[in-house]
Amino acid sequence: MTDDTILANARLVLNDEVILGSLCIKDGVISDIASGGAVSPGARDMQGDFVAPGLVELHTDNLERHLAPRPKVDWPHRAAILAHDRELAGTGITTVFDAIRVGSIVSGASKRYGRYARKMADEILEMRDGGRLRVSHHIHLRAEICSETLVDEFTEFSADDRIGIVSMMDHTPGQRQFSDLAKFETYVRGKHAFGEQEFREYVDFLYDLQGRVGPSHEAAIVKAAKRLGATLASHDDTTADQVATSKAYGVTLAEFPTTRAAAEACHAHGIATIMGAPNLIRGASHSGNVAARDLARLDRLDILSSDYVPSALLMAAVQLGDLWGDLPRGMATVTARPARAVGLSDRGSLRLGQRADLIRFAVLDGTPVLQETWGAGKRVF
């Protein structure tokens, strides 16, 4: 008898090649990798399926979808966290940075939203540390520049919270993701059922708020990220000047640059570019911004994020592998590259001593079919 788990007759997705071989798991880590299709006694036959590192997700709004399954519905938080966690395991994501909004709007006539970040982080960390969650959860504070309570909310967090990412977000209409005001109107009125006058008043309120707090909030976010020891990310950079500002702030990750010019500037400044997997799969941005596939062809796409569709991450990585003619390179955008970008050196690759965060999948007519997921050597799906 042995406590080792051996996955044999698998197509192992290594850093730079795919080999037919076997992988041994011991005490939650990869203890051996061997080539060949033999299935030894006691080994599990993977039947030629792919075995790859578990997926690493740096930015997902999926938890918010479970917290508010319908407008004005606040679902019980622990139930939402559990549903989110199980969904991720079922899509091959073994490490996730849960994006939690910091910064609220508590005045104005329309679209008020309150603070919840500290309570939400406490609930995630409590459930994680209590062993209730199947995948590895980390905190990503999504800092809303155009808000009223941002600075006060950040004071509720300390270095003891081990915040992984702080991202700078400015959703003021007329710039960045919503440079096209007409698209912003379609989005907001569709989501919140605003009338025309109500929408105009909301836009005016946001313009005024951003003008009053924008610069001071940007400075506060940069300071907070340093205090917390978190990786600093920008969001929706549109121009080369915005990217240069991000670089000066110490940004190392650019989430969803909206133009080719911004992506080129990120590359020039050594800032890793994160693009949305749904954008790549659909062939276009739902907001009318630059297509992820175009940036991939230009070698200006470094990391993929599932954004709002967890199952998109594996699918997009396989599609990138097809586009580049290099499956290990495509898979690296959802494994090794995001892990290294946030300082996680113990996962993201099939190497000896790495955490046994693994996935098994087949590919059916170009679509990956996830079969199993392991987190630290334990099967979680």
Q: What is the pLDDT of residues 49-108, one digit of tens each?
A: 999 999 999 999 999 999 999 878 889 999 999 999 999 999 999 999 999 999 998 876
Over residues 185-212, the mean pLDDT reads: 70
What is the rounded distance in angstroms from the CA atom of residue 293 to the CA atom of residue 276?
10
Hey, is 361 helix, strand or coil?
strand
Residue 151 has pLDDT above 70, yes or no: yes
Residue 208 has pLDDT above 50, yes or no: yes
Over residues 306-316, the mean pLDDT reads: 96
Residue 173 has pLDDT above 80, yes or no: no
Residue 182 has pLDDT above 80, yes or no: no
- What is the Rg, in whole angstroms, of the alpha carbon atoms belonging to the chain? 21
Domains located in the chain, CATH noted: 54-348 (3.20.20.140)
∠ CA(320), CA(100), CA(104), 5° rounding? Answer: 130
Residue 298 DSSP label: T
pLDDT of 1 reads 36
Q: Which residues pair with 166 in a beta bridge?
A: 141, 232
∠ CA(325), CA(328), CA(334), 5° rounding? Answer: 115
Question: pTM for this structure?
Answer: 0.92
What is the rounded distance in angstroms from the CA atom of residue 186 to the CA atom of residue 119?
32
Residue with tokens 């600075």: 151
